[in-house]
Amino acid sequence: MYAKSNPSDARANNRRLLFRLLFPDRQLSRADLCKETGLSRATATDVTGEMIDDGLLRELGSGRRDGRGKPGTLLAIDTDVLRLVCIDLSRPYVMTGAVMDLRARIVERRERVLDDGDRVDLDDVLSLAGQMIRLAGSGLVGIGVAVPGVVSGSGRVISSSNLGWDNVELRDLLEGEFSLPVRVDNDANAALLADRFLGHGNPNCLLVQTTRGVGASVLLNDEFVEGDDHAAGEIGHVVIDPAGPACTCGKRGCLETYVSAIALRDRIRRDPNRRADILAAAGARLGGALAMPASLLNLHDIAVYGPPDIVGETLLGACSETVNALSRNDYQSKMRVRRCELGDDATLRGQAVSVLREIVGRRGLSAAAASS
């Protein structure tokens, strides 16, 4: 049985479509938007007017005249009215919070050192969120949190061995505390969103993140692969050597023990003269682990996100050489292995993109922000 179409769904989809075309820094006239979307002029005018009222878009000066007639007024993302708050729990020893604008740029940021190394207390997350909300002031329309681990579509942290969390209803907790829309996402998914929409990513891409642990994320036709248990991309605890070193998860020889930034830094610290060999071996291990999923999904774009002292030419070169040696054939082009070049804030900025994807379809954002 088919569900009836809802006009409000079409309007929300049109808002998302127009916002995405302008994000992060394009300037287009309404006529341009009609050409790129196929929307009628009346619909584009109606929806963009609504989005201007909501603080999502703003009008700029007149654009270049194309042929006869008056040049159209350019539209762009409005960065002055609305704000987001995002928190990154993916980095070791520190929590990072930021106030963001609608182009996913950081306006204010704060860091809190973790007293217990990697373990994160929920009260500390609430405290940091509250501090960032106060800094954001009026105009706040959403909160995002990036978490290392398995996160459900409803924002429940199913498992995060690095944080020491199991079945934490983080979205419900934050929404109940602050009465704002909240997005909770896996940290690798957040980094991939940043790479896709703010960096050099493609609609079909695999991103591997190596920070406190190792995680991966996959986009296929601009849609995340989530899996039945929301655990797609959890490759860090796949055993690649049963006789390998002990892992925090209780197994031995997990990929994370060989290629995480923490593990590699510790190995280099103990044997600094072998730095290049250690990184090359890690790159080869990573390439071997990625050859099968990249071939299975016919992906040609692999991004690696991590600290520059680890994710550099040595590791990336070895990874590229191995993944192509193991998977390349006559009818597939070479896989590109590259560094995600958005710096330490990629996860924060990607989490802002996730919040935007959640809220831009909603009407009345400015009014809701003013009343919160």
- Coil, strand or helix at 51: helix
Tell whether omega for the bond before 181 is within 30 degrees of 0, i.e. cis: no
367: its two tokens: 């009014």
Identify the pLDDT of residue 250: 87
Distance CA 233, CA 216 (A): 4
What are 24-44's pLDDT values in tens digits?
999 999 999 999 999 999 999
Identify the pLDDT of residue 91: 84
Identify the pLDDT of residue 161: 81
Query: Is 337 in contact with 289 (CB distance < 8 Å)?
Result: no
Query: Is 188 in contact with 209 (CB distance < 8 Å)?
Result: yes
Identify the pLDDT of residue 92: 78
223: its two tokens: 């849609």
Query: Is 92 in contact with 150 (CB distance < 8 Å)?
Result: no
Identify the pLDDT of residue 204: 95
Write the DSSP symbol of residue 325.
H
- 228 phi and psi angles, rounded to 5 deg: -60, -35
Query: Is 183 in contact with 171 (CB distance < 8 Å)?
Result: yes
| CA diameter of the chain | 74
Distance CA 160, CA 249 (A): 10
Average predicted confidence (pLDDT) for the chain: 91
Cα distances (Å, whole numbers) of residue 278 to 207, 210, 248, 263, 270: 22, 15, 21, 11, 11
Candidates 61, 50, 57; CA nearest to 76 is 57
Identify the pLDDT of residue 251: 92
- Coil, strand or helix at 351: helix
Cα distances (Å, whole numbers) of residue 214 to 178, 236, 308, 325, 336: 31, 5, 15, 23, 20
Distance CA 135, CA 99 (A): 7
Query: Is 247 in contact with 257 (CB distance < 8 Å)?
Result: yes
Low-confidence ranges of the chain (pLDDT < 70): 1-8, 63-70, 116-118, 367-372
Query: Among the residues of the chain, which ranges form H helices?
Result: 7-22, 30-37, 41-53, 122-136, 170-178, 187-198, 255-259, 261-270, 275-296, 313-327, 346-359, 365-371
Identify the pLDDT of residue 3: 37
Q: What is the pTM of this model?
A: 0.90
